[in-house]
Amino acid sequence: MIPTDAIDSGILNSLLFYIMVMGLLLVVAVFIRIKLKVFKKYFIPASLIAGVLGIIFGPFGIGIFSEEMVSAWGALAGILISIVFAPMLLGVKKSENKGKSKLMIRHLIFSYTASLLQIGVPLLAASLLILPFFDVPEIFATIIEVGWAGGHGTAAGMFEVYDALGWDEGGSLAVTTATIGIVFGIVSGIIMINIAVKKGYSAVIKDQKDISTEDTEDIIPVDKQTANSVETVNPDMIESTAFHIGLIGIAIILGWFMQQVLNIFVTGIPLFPLAMIGGLIVNAVIMRTKYSITVDKKTLNRIQGVALDFLILGAVASIQIPVVVEFALPLIILTVVTVGLMMWYFYYLGPRFFPKEWFENAIVHYGAYSGVTAIGLMLLRTADPKMETEAGQGFALRAPLYSPFLGGGLLTAIIPLLVLNSSGVIIGLSALAIVAILLLISHSLGLVKLFGSRENFN
């Protein structure tokens, strides 16, 4: 029997208080977004606003929040990331979309291309422009794919990886790049949609007056409110949400066991991508039984969403401002390189990947790999309000074959390890070589039109 004093009640009380303060910040951020329309116009989430409030009132700002509190928030973010990733492949049923294989493959290769470019180009740019002049580790450039394609969740999860590799500043810088990416993705994406309508790139919106960035309401009226999950088990037995949390817990436990086995061969692999694979295993088992009807994807999404909101708040609020200042110049250089890379990816590769409705198909990826998936879908909704194109469908179909590996998946987590075990140049060139092979094979199969006229491209 565990003695009652085995866990210091003072620690638990402090943690509870810290979480309650996070809740307070989220509520304050909600009303700030409601009152200041600029945040709604540019789709800045309340969790990000709350994180910035945490910085302002934290030890590097006004100093109301103690360093201990903010550090606890950062540690909590590192735990919550497993709860965010574990349900990603849970509740996924066999796709009912038939005859969409070519569309799915195009979106899949376009996704891999984005992440591999965000790995390869920054690593080579760092080797040429940053490492010779600045005192930064060779894994410095890995924060780009972690923060941009991975987002705040992945960046928070990488704290333990960078710490294990001896670079304590890596986590804060990764979260900083994620913040830069999400703001840049939103602002530039809206500008690009306006340009697309003006130049005739858009397949749906033909007049700039039809572009609406405020078609959703922050406070949903009573007559428009709908249930965001369903009860799948009798509440006399167990609350449905608790049952789904249990499934997520099993996924995380499976991920933990995989982590222990992998630690025999290589250390430093974080738990969150393995928790996602654990979720895939749980899903594969339960979907083959009559109990598959007990799994509600919307309930899983709600749990995931709660964890993500608290995660973003904690990750942003715990950014070490002195570290960001120290690495400001190399970070700016790497950001400028990444901005140029994403523009080339969108405007050059986009039309060559998608023979029709290229803008809508490409903008969802641009938003997702600058910020997060939600930003990509938001930009798609702005460019295609009624989802008339196949962009959303293709983007969704590619997810199960992309998310476990890149953009926050297993390969994202081990890239820093690979860089330390070889070199940034080797890993960077390898990533770009894989991109080249993917593009050439796709071109030869008629999936991508890299050279010549795009006529007869289908």
Task: Give 230-284 pLDDT, tens digit per residue.
Answer: 888 888 899 999 999 999 999 999 999 998 998 887 766 778 778 888 998 999 8
Q: Is a pLDDT exceeding 50 seen at residue 2?
A: no
Whether pLDDT at 210 is above 70: no
CA nearest neighbour of 338 among 44, 151, 136, 141 = 141
Q: Identify the pLDDT of residue 428.
A: 94
Quick one: pLDDT at residue 100? 67
Residue 15's pLDDT is 85
DSSP state of 204: S
Q: How confident is the model at residue 446 (pLDDT cuts 50, 70, 90)?
A: confident
Q: Model confidence over 284-316: pLDDT tens digits? A: 899 999 988 998 888 998 898 888 889 888 888
Q: Is 166 left (phi over 0), alpha (psi -120 to 50) or beta?
A: left
Q: Are residues 104 and 93 in contact, defined by beta-carbon separation less than 8 angstroms?
A: no
d(CA 274, CA 282): 12
Give the pLDDT confidence score for residue 457 in this predicted structure: 47
Segment 332-340 shows an average pLDDT of 94
pLDDT digits (tens, 9 = 90+) for 387-441: 778 887 788 778 778 877 888 778 888 899 999 988 899 999 999 999 999 999 9
Tokens of 194: 């306006």
Give residue 207's pLDDT.
62
Both structure tokens of 427:
């890993």
Q: Which amino acid, one-letter code, is at 32?
A: I
Residues 383 and 360 sit within 8 Å (Cβ to Cβ): yes
Global confidence as pTM = 0.77
Whether the pLDDT of residue 214 is over 60: the answer is no
CB atoms within 10 A of CB 387: 14
CA atoms within 13 A on the CB side of 187: 9
Contacts of 271 (CB under 8 A, 6+ apart): 82, 157, 252, 255, 256, 259
The residue that leads in pLDDT, 78 or 32, is: 32
Indicate the pLDDT class of residue 209, thresholds 50, 70 and 90: low
Token output for 443: 């071109």
Give percent of the chain above pLDDT 90: 30
Residues 126-153, mean pLDDT to the nearest whole number: 90
Q: 255 near 82, Cβ under 8 Å? A: yes
pLDDT of residue 1: 41
- CA end-to-end span of the chain: 67
**What's the rounded Cα separation, in Å, for the pair 14 and 9?**
9
Identify the pLDDT of residue 248.
94
278 C-beta neighbours (distance < 10 Å), count: 28
In this structure, the chain runs to a length of 458
More confident site: 201 or 70 = 70
* 184: its two tokens: 């840049």
Mean pLDDT (the chain) is: 84
pLDDT band per the 50, 70, 90 thresholds, residue 119: very high
Rounded CA-CA distance 109/67 in Å is: 43
| In the chain, % of residues over pLDDT 70 | 91
